[in-house]
């Protein structure tokens, strides 16, 4: 009897184990089972506590890239192809100005004004070996110092270590030819990689004010901390500026900002050696010159300079210190014509201090213009010129973040250029001049691309409501040759220059090619001399008068 009871108990335990195993199996495979029944899984799990530990999945599908994001992606891919990674094992394998050769193609006994002079440049390394790839950052210029004449040359990269340098012979006399190796391709590649690795070469300090209390806090173009902060967002263009929130201070208390640099580099020690002073801007063509004669050739009749014209490379040259365009007919404007042209004009200069130079120079052009005191302080305050009798107003206002200076500047009346354009009604007597670029050089290129696209979109909106408004883009200019290359070098400026031309190429705007002009003048200064500024303004007046 005991044996039967014992067996029954064992059978019961065995059945319990089997039942438990079946239950667990069903639970573990419930997804497959419920899926086979075509019932929502959530119906089964809705009352369990397991679900709460997982994040909710979005109901709507992932959004596709916006038109702006696609354009940014397209430009970045184009630039990456233009500046591919280059192998760099030793300085001896990099391009050498001394060993590279420049040969005039089809040399002539006599060169005539208007002719094109072509030079074949073969890049070689420090061991004398022919380079097998391109990408060297070169600058070509022809000049006649006695004539105060100069012009840039056009460089064509064949991507195999050879380049075609083309000069148009614009004037008569002895002409010196120059091709500078600013950076070898390995250096250009290193700068491009380093540039796009971070935003932290520069830092921002924001001043918050609450009554009599003044507190400084760290600010940034990107969110880099989990600490509670202040976010200043321009919704339409997704322009964002962040500041750490000081204790007992509202975010609205931000009144001023300044910047400084941090000792951060994304270049290796070996790469930094490529940017020492002796290796930047080395002449490849030494003591090369030709004599140009005034041959009898019919002069081409050009149209008057006007907005919307396409500008070739080079777009002009200097002679006796004066800028002469190659693509349009400049009109010489005397004081009376300038005064009549500016009568009733509302002119808005938007950008950096290279455009602020204009508002300092303009009273020399039209002496009835007087500065109006807006009760602001500092070099970067809004500047206003007025001639009340002629109803002429000219205003300069700096662009918004990033704006780099160790001096405090007010952000109370700050505005991104697209927002400033959106605030203008516009009409046939409204003129806008825009420049930006120098303050963007230390940051990844995408912020510059986005700003340029936003500016273009704002101009398109302006043209919808006021097609007669005149808009002029002034490109950035070259600057000091031996400034720190990683943050402020002209390589970054040149890439931005190409990008800006690409973004605005089919828009009905005027262009003042300050890059081309400053190479022609050999004005290697962040703030070019008055002679250059005067000729920029002369070009501007030719567009609007």
* Candidate from 123-127, 224-228, 422-426, 520-524 with smallest mean pLDDT: 224-228
At 352, list the tokens: 């950096």
Give tens-digit pLDDT for 462-488.
Answer: 999 999 999 999 999 999 999 999 999
Whole-number pLDDT of residue 505:
94
Please give the residue that has the higher pLDDT: either 61 or 293.
293
Contact 147, 173 (CB under 8 A): yes
Whole-number pLDDT of residue 226:
65
Number of residues in the chain: 545
* Candidate from 216-230, 409-423, 472-486, 505-519 with smallest mean pLDDT: 216-230
367 CB neighbour count, 10 Å cutoff: 11
Whole-number pLDDT of residue 301:
77
Please give the residue that has the higher pLDDT: either 223 or 339.
339
**Position 5 confidence tier, pLDDT thresholds 50, 70, 90:** very low
Percent of the chain surpassing pLDDT 70: 88
Percent of the chain surpassing pLDDT 90: 80
pLDDT of residue 402 exceeding 80? yes
Q: Which residues is 370 bridged to in the sheet?
A: 386
Contact 386, 359 (CB under 8 A): no
Residue 285, CB-side half-sphere exposure with 13 Å CA sphere: 22
pLDDT of residue 11 exceeding 80? no
Please give the residue that has the higher pLDDT: either 415 or 47.
415
**Position 64 confidence tier, pLDDT thresholds 50, 70, 90:** low
Of 319, 387, 315, 343, residue with least CA distance to 539: 315
Contact 442, 202 (CB under 8 A): yes
Which strands, in side-by-side order, build the sheet including 202-210?
A: 229-234, 239-244, 213-220, 202-210, 254-261, 409-410
**Position 87 confidence tier, pLDDT thresholds 50, 70, 90:** confident
Q: Which fold has domain 91-191+282-293?
A: Immunoglobulin-like (2.60.40)
pLDDT of residue 62 exceeding 80? no
Q: Cα 483 vs. chain centroid, distance in angstroms?
A: 18
Cα 445 to Cα 77, 177, 205, distances in angstroms? 12, 33, 22
Whole-number pLDDT of residue 287:
87
Q: Residue 351: helix, strand or coil by DSSP?
A: strand
* Candidate from 1-15, 31-45, 368-382, 386-400 with smallest mean pLDDT: 31-45
Query: Average model confidence (pLDDT) for the chain?
Result: 88
Whole-number pLDDT of residue 168:
97
Cis amide bond preceding 356, omega within 30: no
Q: Which residues contact 206 (CB under 8 A, 6 or more apart)?
A: 216, 217, 218, 219, 243, 254, 256, 257, 411
- Domain 316-544 sits in CATH 3.10.20.30: no
Whole-number pLDDT of residue 454:
96
Give tens-digit pLDDT for 234-266.
Answer: 888 889 999 999 999 999 999 999 999 999 999
In the chain, where the domains are located: 91-191+282-293, 202-261, 316-544
- How far apart (Å, rounded) are the C-alpha atoms in residues 517 and 145? 16
Give tens-digit pLDDT for 100-113.
Answer: 999 999 999 999 99
**Position 53 confidence tier, pLDDT thresholds 50, 70, 90:** very low
> Scanning the structure block, which residue is given the tokens 């130079």?
357
Please give the residue that has the higher pLDDT: either 22 or 313.
313
**Position 225 confidence tier, pLDDT thresholds 50, 70, 90:** low
> In this structure, are strands 137-144 and 149-152 parallel, antiparallel, or unpaired?
antiparallel
For residues 315-329, give the mean pLDDT: 96
Q: Which residues contact 508 (CB under 8 A, 6 or more apart)?
A: 307, 308, 463, 471
Whole-number pLDDT of residue 519:
98
Q: Which helix (H) or strand (E) holds 395?
A: strand 392-398
pLDDT of residue 178 exceeding 50? yes
pLDDT of residue 21 exceeding 70? no
Whole-number pLDDT of residue 227:
62
Contact 135, 181 (CB under 8 A): no
Of 441, 453, 471, 75, residue with least CA distance to 239: 453
For residues 108-121, give the mean pLDDT: 96
The DSSP result for 1-36, as a single string, is -HHHHHHHHHHHHHHHHHHHHHHHHHHHTHHHHHHH
Taking phi first (over 0 means left), then psi (-120 to 50 degrees means alpha), and beta for anything else, what does residue 360 get? alpha
| Percentages of the chain per state (helix, strand, coil), in multiples of 5 | 35, 25, 40
Of 454, 435, 445, residue with least CA distance to 499: 445
**Position 9 confidence tier, pLDDT thresholds 50, 70, 90:** very low
- How far apart (Å, rounded) are the C-alpha atoms in residues 331 and 262? 48
**Position 6 confidence tier, pLDDT thresholds 50, 70, 90:** very low
């Amino acid at each position: 009897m005991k044996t039967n009871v014992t067996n029954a108990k064992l059978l019961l335990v065995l059945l319990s184990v089997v039942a438990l195993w079946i239950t667990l199996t069903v639970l573990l495979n419930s997804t497959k089972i419920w899926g086979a029944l075509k019932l929502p899984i959530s119906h089964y799990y809705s009352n369990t506590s397991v679900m709460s530990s997982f994040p909710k999945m979005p109901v709507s599908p992932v959004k596709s890239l916006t038109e702006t994001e696609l354009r940014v992606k397209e430009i970045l891919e184009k630039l990456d192809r233009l500046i591919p990674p280059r192998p760099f094992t030793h300085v001896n394998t990099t391009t050498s100005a001394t060993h590279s050769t420049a040969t005039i193609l089809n040399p002539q006994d006599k060169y005539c004004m208007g002719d094109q002079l072509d030079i074949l440049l073969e890049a070689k390394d420090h061991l004398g070996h022919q380079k097998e790839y391109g990408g060297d950052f070169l600058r070509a210029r022809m000049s006649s110092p006695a004539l105060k004449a100069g012009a840039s040359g056009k460089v064509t990269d064949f991507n195999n270590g050879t380049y075609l340098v083309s000069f148009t012979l614009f004037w008569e006399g002895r002409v010196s030819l120059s091709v500078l190796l600013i950076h070898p391709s390995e250096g250009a590649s290193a700068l491009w990689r380093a540039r796009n690795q971070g935003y932290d070469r520069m830092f921002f300090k924001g001043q918050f004010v609450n009554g009599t209390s003044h507190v400084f806090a760290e600010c940034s173009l990107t969110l880099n901390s989990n600490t509670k902060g202040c976010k200043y967002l321009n919704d339409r263009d997704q322009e964002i500026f962040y500041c750490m929130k000081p204790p007992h201070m509202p975010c609205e208390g931000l009144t001023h900002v300044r910047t400084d640099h941090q000792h951060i580099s994304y270049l290796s020690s070996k790469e930094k050696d490529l940017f020492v002073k002796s290796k930047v801007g080395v002449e490849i063509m030494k003591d090369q010159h030709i004599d140009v004669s005034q041959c009898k050739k019919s002069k081409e009749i050009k149209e008057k300079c006007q907005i919307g014209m396409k500008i070739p490379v080079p777009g002009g040259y200097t002679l006796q210190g004066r800028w002469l365009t190659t693509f349009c007919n400049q009109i010489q404007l005397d004081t009376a014509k300038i005064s009549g042209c500016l009568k009733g004009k509302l002119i808005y200069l938007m950008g950096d201090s290279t455009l602020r130079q204009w508002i300092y120079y303009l009273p020399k052009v039209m002496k009835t213009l007087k500065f109006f005191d807006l009760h602001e302080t500092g070099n970067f305050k809004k500047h206003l010129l007025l001639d009340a009798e002629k109803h002429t107003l000219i205003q300069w206002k700096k662009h918004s973040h990033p704006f780099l200076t160790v001096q405090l500047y007010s952000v109370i009346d700050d505005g991104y250029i697209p927002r400033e354009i959106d605030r203008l009604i516009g009409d046939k007597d409204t003129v806008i001049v825009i420049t930006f670029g120098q303050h963007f050089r230390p940051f990844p290129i995408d912020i510059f691309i986005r700003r340029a696209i936003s500016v273009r979109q704002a101009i398109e909106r302006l043209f919808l409501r006021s097609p007669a408004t005149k808009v002029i883009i002034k490109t950035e200019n070259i600057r000091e040759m031996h400034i720190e290359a990683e943050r402020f070098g002209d390589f970054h400026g040149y890439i931005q220059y190409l990008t800006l031309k690409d973004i605005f190429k089919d828009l009905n705007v005027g262009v003042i090619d300050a890059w081309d002009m400053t190479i022609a003048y050999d004005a290697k200064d962040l703030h070019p001399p008055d002679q250059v500024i005067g000729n920029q303004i002369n070009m501007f007046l030719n567009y609007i008068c």
